[in-house]
Amino acid sequence: MTKEYKTITEISGPLIFVEKTEPVGYNELVEIRTGGELKRGQVLDTSDEIVVIQVFEGTGGLSKDSAVSFTGDVIKMPLSPGIVGRVLSGSGRPRDGGPEIVPEVLRDIAGAAINPASREKPRAFIQTGISTIDGTNTLVRGQKLPIFSGAGLPHNDVALQIARQAKALGEAESFAVIFCAMGITNEEAQHFLADFERTGALERAVVFLNLADDPAVERILTPRLGLTTAEYLAFDLDMHVLIIYTDMTNYCESLRQMGAAREEVPGRRGYPGYMYTDLAIQYERAGIIRGKKGSITQFPILTMPGDDITHPIPDLSGYITEGQIIISRELHRKGIYPPVDIRPSLSRLMNSGIGKGHTREDHRAVSDQLYAYYAEGNDLRGLAAIVGKEALSERDKLVLEFADKFEKRFVNQGRDEDRSIFDTLQIGWDLLADLPEAMLTRVDDKYIKQYHPKYASAAKKAE
């Protein structure tokens, strides 16, 4: 039996201060008993004189008489194959009325860094069935690709559509979805769960729910538990894991709250100076390890406060993740779904997952060409608004029309429409075919000869 201390000297927000302890390890798991209730916490600062503990389930109900015991070990997650299909709380306790997880293994939730030399280069194309992702911001297995969105935009629908449709070309394999909710409303959580149930996805999912009214400190734990589970499924059980967490903004708010409680010197906008490192520790747990079959692909969702992409949360995330998918309010207002603005969106790993042997050899060229004229067309909209469409040159008119058609035909698609990559490229070519061939400066002649609808249909006729 471990020693119990009743030497709490101070309780301040989510923190408790305990004195006169035996030497306690940094990051150790702490149990606090008060009136029959058990709360858990973690050591943040330890010295001979005083130990600072953050309490995950909130400090409500704690008093100077509460009994604190140190477990002598860091926080570990109990794991077994039976975890698939379960709904757990943000701190890993059953929320679905089921039994506790009977552990086959216990894993440190802090997660060690994957040795960069052991990583496999991610390059397996994942088809999401969404043109703006597959065609122009391709996702590959092992990537971390966040969705940057704003309040009131359909990012959850996009995430669900991806979770539903994502597949590798031409092979069936075991895969799992991990869903970590951090501080989202009950209604949003229900929306996700209902969709998982409707599509049968729940059977191969692990859900961690920390809702808006659950303790904020618990949120610091949630992604760590999810990722530890992901690593177990991917690298012990050879599964391809897709992990969606929403909303990272709430997670960062919790970090800030903790920082303030500890009276740390704040960085930008009050967020702690170590937020970059903290986020990196979560995001970097995506990837593939050489010689292992499984993989972890991450889809963090974050809402940009005030749609501001320079806000520290999206800004720091963008520096760590391998690109970003931006949900645009403007496109949403135009009634376009999914309202993905491809211009600021990016997939950094796209290049290794496309082209010959992955998708098709003309993929890069088509994508670049679409980008170039969509961006130019967008700029021309401003001009057309001032001088009128008629005053534009012939070329500019074509580009302007291209941008409109691009949004209607390429970007826009149904919530259940699962386009193959070849459908997506075909739509791209159909749009490019409306421009004179000489304007296709980014496309090699040989691809034009092969895939341009003009030549492709001629070739068919000849056959």
- Backbone phi, psi, residue 197, to 5°: -70, -45
Complex with other proteins: residue 183 or 353, whichever CB lies closer: 353
| Site mask for other proteins (CB under 8 A), range 112-151, x = bound | xxxxxxxxxxx-------------------xxx-------
- 112, two tokens: 């060690």
Contacting residue, 2, 35, 48, 99, with other proteins by CB under 8 A: 48
Number of residues that bind other proteins (CB under 8 A): 90
Q: Does 393 bind other proteins (CB under 8 A)?
A: yes
Give the residue from 179, 15, 2 showing the smallest Cα distance to 84: 179
Helix axes 248-261, 312-320, angle to 10 degrees: 110
Distance CA 292, CA 245 (A): 24
Contacting residue, 153, 252, 349, 400, with other proteins by CB under 8 A: 349
Complex with other proteins: residue 47 or 199, whichever CB lies closer: 47
Distance CA 95, CA 214 (A): 13
Minimum distance from residue 310 beta carbon to other proteins (Å): 3
Site for other proteins in 55-74 (CB under 8 A): 73-74
Minimum distance from residue 367 beta carbon to other proteins (Å): 8
Complex with other proteins: residue 195 or 322, whichever CB lies closer: 322
Q: Look up residue 155 and give its amino acid.
A: H
Complex with other proteins: residue 193 or 225, whichever CB lies closer: 225
Distance CA 190, CA 199 (A): 14
List residues bridging with 341 in a β-sheet: 326
Other beta carbons less than 10 A from residue 384's beta carbon: 17
Other beta carbons less than 10 A from residue 381's beta carbon: 12
Site for other proteins in 258-317 (CB under 8 A): 264-268, 272-274, 276-277, 280-281, 283-287, 289-290, 292, 309-312, 315-316
Q: Does 344 bind other proteins (CB under 8 A)?
A: yes
**By three-state DSSP, how is residue 246 classified?**
strand
Complex with other proteins: residue 122 or 338, whichever CB lies closer: 122
Other beta carbons less than 10 A from residue 30's beta carbon: 23
Give the residue from 51, 53, 71, 66 showing the smallest Cα distance to 14: 53
Minimum distance from residue 197 beta carbon to other proteins (Å): 33
**By three-state DSSP, how is residue 371 classified?**
helix
Distance CA 251, CA 232 (A): 23
| Site mask for other proteins (CB under 8 A), range 353-392, x = bound | -----------x--xx--xx--xx-----xx--xx---xx
Distance CA 65, CA 51 (A): 16
Contacting residue, 247, 322, 362, 407, with other proteins by CB under 8 A: 322
Distance CA 124, CA 127 (A): 10
Distance CA 440, CA 460 (A): 22
Minimum distance from residue 132 beta carbon to other proteins (Å): 14
Give the residue from 189, 196, 111 showing the smallest Cα distance to 161: 196
- 284, two tokens: 């970097």
Minimum distance from residue 168 beta carbon to other proteins (Å): 17
Minimum distance from residue 282 beta carbon to other proteins (Å): 8
Site for other proteins in 154-193 (CB under 8 A): none
| Site mask for other proteins (CB under 8 A), range 27-46, x = bound | xx---------------xxx
Distance CA 429, CA 453 (A): 7
With contacts defined by CB under 8 A, name the span among 20-28, 30-38, 154-162, 178-186 that binds other proteins. Answer: 20-28
Minimum distance from residue 248 beta carbon to other proteins (Å): 15
Distance CA 211, CA 186 (A): 6
Complex with other proteins: residue 114 or 168, whichever CB lies closer: 114
Site for other proteins in 92-111 (CB under 8 A): 108, 110-111
Q: Does 445 bind other proteins (CB under 8 A)?
A: yes
Site for other proteins in 212-251 (CB under 8 A): 235
Minimum distance from residue 172 beta carbon to other proteins (Å): 25
